[in-house]
Copies of this chain bind each other. A is one copy, B any other.
Amino acid sequence: MEDRLAIVCSKGSLDMAYPPFVLATAAAAMDMEVMLFFTFWGLDIVNRHKIDSLEISIASNPGMPAMAKVAGMVPFGTKMVSSMMKEQFAKSNVMSIRQFVETSHEMGVHMVACQMSMDVMGVKREDLIPQVEDVVGAATFLDFAKEAKVQLFI
């Protein structure tokens, strides 16, 4: 059996959407089998209506520049700072989240969505991007994670 990486993706902010994919693609390149389990706010990452408009979480990062903090308090401010962050990533040749999803899918990364979160948040199967291969419960994640070398909750 291949070495496995199991990640719970529970955050839907732009900044916390990156780490799962950076780790997943690095692991897949090392021939690890990877499962990303999208749950709670993390469902937004694989929601076809939201994936391209994820916004960065300013309030929870007190270390951000004062300019950004002020921007976060005015209408559209978060959108503006999020756009700036996307440009910054692009300039450093880092893929967008959508590109990361496509690349991860091509590399064989398993993307699954949490049934309970979908029920609670009223998200339907057709709201999800096609790269999500299944809708499962916590037990399915644990079954995979138990045999994984690395498990992370993001």
Sample (6) of A-B pairs whose CB atoms are under 8 Å apart: A15-B41, A26-B138, A59-B60, A62-B82, A142-B150, A148-B150
Complex interface: chain B residues within 8 A of A138 (CB): 22-23, 26
- Nearest B residue (CB) for A78: B62
- Complex Cα spacing A148 to B148, Å: 11
Complex interface: chain B residues within 8 A of A1 (CB): none
Whether A56 sits at the interface, judged by CB under 8 Å, is yes
Taking Cβ atoms with an 8 Å cutoff, the residues of A that contact B are 3, 5-6, 8, 10-16, 18-19, 22-23, 26-27, 29-30, 32, 39-41, 44, 50, 54-63, 78, 82, 88-89, 92, 94, 116, 119-121, 137-139, 141-143, 145-154
Query: How many copies of this chain does the complex contain?
Result: 3
- Complex Cα spacing A153 to B152, Å: 6
Complex interface: chain B residues within 8 A of A18 (CB): 40
- Complex Cα spacing A32 to B139, Å: 11
Asked if residues A142 and B32 are in contact (CB atoms below 8 Å), the reply is yes
Set B39, B44, B146, B151: member contacting A63, Cβ < 8 A: B44
Complex interface: chain B residues within 8 A of A139 (CB): 26, 29-30
Complex interface: chain B residues within 8 A of A92 (CB): 116, 119-120
- If the complex has contacts A12-B61, A120-B94, are A19 and B40 also in contact, measured as CB distance less than 8 A? yes
